[in-house]
Amino acid sequence: MAKEAVFTMKLEPELRDAFMAAAAAADRPASQIVREFMRDYVQQDREYVEFLRRKVEKARQSIAEGKWSTQEEVGARAATRRAGLRRRIDEATE
């Protein structure tokens, strides 16, 4: 891939020095490592967007199939579960 763009950024001198030392210790050019970081970040962003798209689609499908609960129903189920857990804890500590 042709490298035709320049990327300039400001950072603390200590961070730059530590990064340059780590790159040298790994016997790799700092620019190569930064390019890898950038590619990984872009890929992770794409994967996250796709993850969210799938979740939204699944939720829409569930709603269309009538598989949903109101906030009150979810709260009631959670309260019932908490009460059961409290009861089990109380029984275990007696």
Give the number of other CB atoms < 10 A from CB of residue 63. 10
Tell me which residue range forms the domain holding 59: 14-93
Rounded to two decimals, the pTM is: 0.55
What pLDDT score does 11 carry? Answer: 95
Could you tell me if residue 27 is left (phi over 0), alpha (psi between -120 and 50 degrees) or otherwise beta?
A: left
Any residues with CB less than 8 A from the CB of 5 and at least 6 apart, and which? none
Residue 32 domain flag = yes
Report the distance separating Cα 37 and Cα 30, nearest Å.
11
> Nearest-5° angle of CA 38, CA 44, CA 50?
140
Per-residue model confidence as pLDDT tens digits over 13-60: 999 999 999 999 999 999 999 999 999 999 999 999 999 999 999 999
**68-77 mean pLDDT:** 95
- Number of structural domains (the chain) is 1
Domain assignment present for residue 6? The answer is no
Q: What is the predicted pLDDT for the residue at 20?
A: 97
Does 9 map to a domain?
A: no
Q: Who contacts 54 (Cβ-Cβ below 8 Å, separation ≥6)?
A: none
Is 43 inside any structural domain? Answer: yes
| Over residues 86-92, mean pLDDT | 94
The verdict on residue 3 lying in a domain is no
